[in-house]
Amino acid sequence: MSANQITSDTSSTATPRGYWANYPRFLWQSLRAATDGSPLFYGWMTLLTAVALVGVNGWAHQYASGMIVTHMTDHVSWGLYIANFTFGVGLAAGGVMMVIPAYLYRNRAMHDVVILGELLAVAAIIICTLFIAVDLGRPDRFWHIIPGLGRFNWPISMLTWDVIVLNGYLLINLHICGYLLYTKFQGRTPNRWWYIPFVFLSIIWAISIHTVTAFLYQGLGGRPFWNTALLAPRFLASAFVSGPIFLILTMLILKKIAGIQLPSQAIKLLVQIVRVTILINLLMVASELFTEFYTGAAHSVHAYYLFFGLHGHNALVPWIWTAIVLNVLAAIFFLNRSALESPTWLTIACLMGLVGIWIEKGMGLIVPGFVPSTLHQIVEYVPSLTEWQITAGIWAFGLMVYSVGLKIAIPIFRAASHDE
Amino acid sequence: MSQEQDTKNRDSNSETPQKRAGMELPILGQVSRRTAIKGAAAVAGVAALGVAAAPMLQKTAELSAAEFMQRHFKELTDEDKRIIFERLENEAQEKYDAEVQIGDHPPIRGVRFGYAINLSLCNGNGKCMEACHRENNHDRATQQSYIRIFEMPVGTTDFEQGNTSYDHEVPQKSHYYLPVQCFQCDNPPCVSVCPVEATWQESDGIVVVDYNWCIGCRYCMAACPYHARRFNWKEPEIPADEVNPDQGYLSNRIRPQGVVEKCHFCLHRTRVGKLPACLEACPTGARIFGDLMDPDSNIRWVLANKRCFTIKEELGTKPMMFYFFD
């Protein structure tokens, strides 16, 4: 294509008519890209659709019969859904670890893959929103929390802050992704003023979403397990492990299965980031555990329950030790430079880290806050089959969003970088 | 999309509409089979979604437009309330086959309720729990009640050593009994956290819930340090002849599924000059209820003359439920 054409294209898009003609074309091409692919892609999407439908069915039953189909109780009133929500917020915030090197440190190689982090943020926020939605006893009353329509208890309720920061983060990332893809699709150079300010806003905003989510728990004086100033920093540290790890895994899978080669520098940089954050995360866990167990006050009872069980109740003990072992092993792998040169070992290390954080920021954080309950009764919690169905369904749907996003974005980005 | 394709698309953009249409036709021809398969897959997907979501249809049909659109309690006019109460009474008739009257019961100006329990008298007989269960139309199968009684060994106030599921003769030697319910805190953490203001403190200190506004997020249950709140994990079941027909909108009316509820100091009774059901049922006289603003009330006498304490005072919640030993 000649430079002449690009110019004429650009000038035509500047007029509203050009926009109205171009944007539907962009959407149409995106839809085609999203629904065209190899048998492997079709198989993957079909699988995700099937799992998502299982989730829809589980939720429909929960809606009809009430939340009695979960194993939550008045004692453990939040469970697997809120656990996954918390982990999901971390994943969304962690995506920013690709944005920071790309824009703050102007790393060119990262510019080509930064869209991965932004798409991850979008998909993860959608996952989080769904986990909140399925946790509501009255989803039909969702409009009560929409500012202007219902009654929004802002700024007192931290949950309203979370609504603002999560939706804001979604919008910012949708704008960045949408704008970059659309301009690159047109073969134009993106106008810095239309996205760089939003990129910097998204960096600050990423910190805010996980901080506010930690404050949800941290601000509750009646729950000593969460009522610690270290909670928000710990949330961030683990987010900056899980997010980059998820992105590394994405790139490894894209290369291995779809044969898409992204700049290898990107993976190296993310590995370096994880090397640091995984240690900070472990350090914070250790500091928290020291306080709990060395002091041995009545408040430590939740940590005792989590790690060793209490009066013969030990439902969470296998979970947390799995998480600790996985996190420590992942840290050892990440510190061992030679081990990570093999994609197989890198994949294994990433999976260990991901599952480790998922437990630590999920079941290992939410459930022990409720056991023993505020008046020290021990009622244990093990998720029901319906809860697992719905959880799997939401993750499948989120992965669908992520896969479609990648499917659309990667060819456009690669075409654009070839042009350059 | 490959680079060539991309180029083609850009080129087509600069063509005249007629030419563009002419260019697209062969493309359509190429992808028609593929498009057909995609269309079929999309239809199958939508159908599967319909099947998967089918179980929720009946519940959705039960939800009336009036219920869905209902505003927050504080925004309702007297006329709104009349219509809503009537609707709720009809629902009770349909669902529970019970004739009930739902009232508004606004707080009385200048009244502030307080409650005290004499732990030297309480012997753990559980009559208060039963009275609460009946008065407040709790689900029968789960034996729900806003009150729980801890059987505590003498020499400790540590709830960890208490037992709420005792089933033997009372009182047991070397034990005392400590009933707990919502303390109607003056600084209620449950109210601050509610994202939709579905729960609030009224001028007489009682913390209430609008069961038709609560979205069921259960953040208040996480925030309460006293395990005072309950969630309706399913629709409550009560036989028609056991339904208490004397009901308040913010208190003991039969709660819908999926919302949070709590003790309301029997406001449908106490705001019309009666005593809480748990107090009336107590055979030991351990319970003292009254208006903290009235210098001649029993509760004021107790606060002035007994060494009272509250539970978890260090959390700054300022409970309005006081305990003392004689």
**What number of CA atoms fall less than 13 Å from residue A47's CA on the CB side?**
9
CATH number at residue A301: 1.20.1630.10
Cβ pair A92, A85 in contact under 8 A: no
Report residue B85 as tokens: 């109460």
Q: Which of B197, B180, B179 is nearest to B188 (CA)?
A: B197
Q: pLDDT of B128-183, one tens digit each?
A: 999 999 999 999 999 999 999 999 999 999 999 999 999 999 999 999 999 999 99
Does residue A206 lie in a domain region?
yes
CA distances from A255 to A95, A248, A261, A263, B1 (A): 19, 11, 5, 10, 17
What's the CA gap between B56 and B53, in Å, rounded? 6
Instruction: Give the H/E segment covering residue B52.
Output: helix B17-53
If pLDDT is split at 50, 70 and 90, which confidence band does A6 have? Answer: very low
Closest approach of A403 to chain B, Cα-based (Å): 15
Window 287-316 of A, Cβ < 8 Å to B: 298, 301
Q: Is the pLDDT of residue B26 over 60?
A: no
**Residue type for position A353:** G
Q: pLDDT of B209-226, one tens digit each?
A: 999 999 999 999 999 999
For chain B, the structural domain boundaries read 3-55, 113-324
What's the CA gap between B113 and B201, in Å, rounded? 12
A13 or A190: which carries more pLDDT confidence?
Answer: A190
Closest approach of B224 to chain A, Cα-based (Å): 6
Q: Average the pLDDT over A202-226 and give the result.
A: 95
What's the CA gap between A80 and A394, in Å, rounded? 12
Does residue A148 lie in a domain region?
yes
Closest approach of A177 to chain B, Cα-based (Å): 17
Closest approach of A191 to chain B, Cα-based (Å): 20
- Whether residues A159 and B259 touch (CB distance < 8 A) is answered with no
- Whether residues A21 and B13 touch (CB distance < 8 A) is answered with yes
**Residue A418: what pLDDT?**
63
If pLDDT is split at 50, 70 and 90, which confidence band does A416 have? Answer: confident
Cβ pair A383, A70 in contact under 8 A: yes
**Residue A16: what pLDDT?**
53
**Residue type for position A277:** T
Contacts of B317 in chain A (CB under 8 A): 221-222
DSSP state of B265: T
**Residue B31: what pLDDT?**
60
If pLDDT is split at 50, 70 and 90, which confidence band does A298 have? Answer: confident
**Can you tell me which residue has the tokens 């809120």?**
A82
The backbone torsions φ and ψ at residue A176, rounded to the nearest 5 degrees and listed phi first, read -60, -50
What's the CA gap between B79 and B84, in Å, rounded? 9
**Residue A51: what pLDDT?**
98
Contacts of A15 in chain B (CB under 8 A): none
**Can you tell me which residue has the tokens 């980005």?**
A413
Contacts of A59 in chain B (CB under 8 A): 56
Q: Which of A286, A294, A269, A271 is nearest to A328 (CA)?
A: A286
Q: pLDDT exceeding 70 applies to what percent of chain A?
A: 95
Q: Is B124 left (phi over 0), alpha (psi -120 to 50) or beta?
A: left
What's the CA gap between A225 and A310, in Å, rounded? 15
Point out which residues pair with B175 in neighbouring strands: B153
Cβ pair A248, A267 in contact under 8 A: yes
A384 or B20: which carries more pLDDT confidence?
Answer: A384
Q: Is B266 left (phi over 0), alpha (psi -120 to 50) or beta?
A: left
Does residue A15 lie in a domain region?
no
Average pLDDT, chain B: 91
Does residue A302 lie in a domain region?
yes
**What number of CA atoms fall less than 13 Å from residue B178's CA on the CB side?**
25
What's the CA gap between A185 and A409, in Å, rounded? 9
Q: pLDDT of A82-107, one tens digit each?
A: 999 999 999 999 988 889 988 888 88
**Residue B9: what pLDDT?**
43
Q: Is A75 on the interface with B (CB under 8 A)?
A: yes
What's the CA gap between B9 and B27, in Å, rounded? 11
In chain A, the N- to C-terminal Cα span, in Å, equals 12
**Can you tell me which residue has the tokens 């009430």?**
A66
Window 116-135 of A, Cβ < 8 Å to B: 132, 135
Q: pLDDT of A8-43, one tens digit each?
A: 344 444 455 577 788 899 999 899 889 888 899 999
Determine the structural domain holding residue A129 and report its residue range: 34-419
Q: Is the pLDDT of residue A123 over 90?
A: yes
What's the CA gap between B162 and B180, in Å, rounded? 12
Task: Say yes or no: domain B113-324 is CATH 3.30.70.20.
Answer: yes
Q: Is the pLDDT of residue A384 over 50?
A: yes
Q: Which of B250, B260, B256 is nearest to B236 (CA)?
A: B256
Report residue B217 as tokens: 């997020």
Point out which residues pair with B115 in neighbouring strands: B289, B321
Q: Is A24 on the interface with B (CB under 8 A)?
A: no
Contacts of B56 in chain A (CB under 8 A): 59-60, 63-64
Q: Is the pLDDT of residue B227 over 80?
A: yes
Contacts of B48 in chain A (CB under 8 A): 49, 53
Q: DSSP string of A41-66?
A: HHHHHHHHHHHHHHHHHHHHHHHHH-
Count of domains observed in chain A = 1
Cβ pair A187, A13 in contact under 8 A: no
Chain centroid to Cα A140, Å, comes to 26
Q: Is the pLDDT of residue B30 over 80?
A: no
Q: Largest Cα–Cα distance of chain B, in whole Å?
A: 98
Point out which residues pair with B177 in neighbouring strands: B151
What's the CA gap between B128 and A288, in Å, rounded? 42
Contacts of B2 in chain A (CB under 8 A): 411, 415
Q: Average the pLDDT over B90-116 and give the result.
A: 97
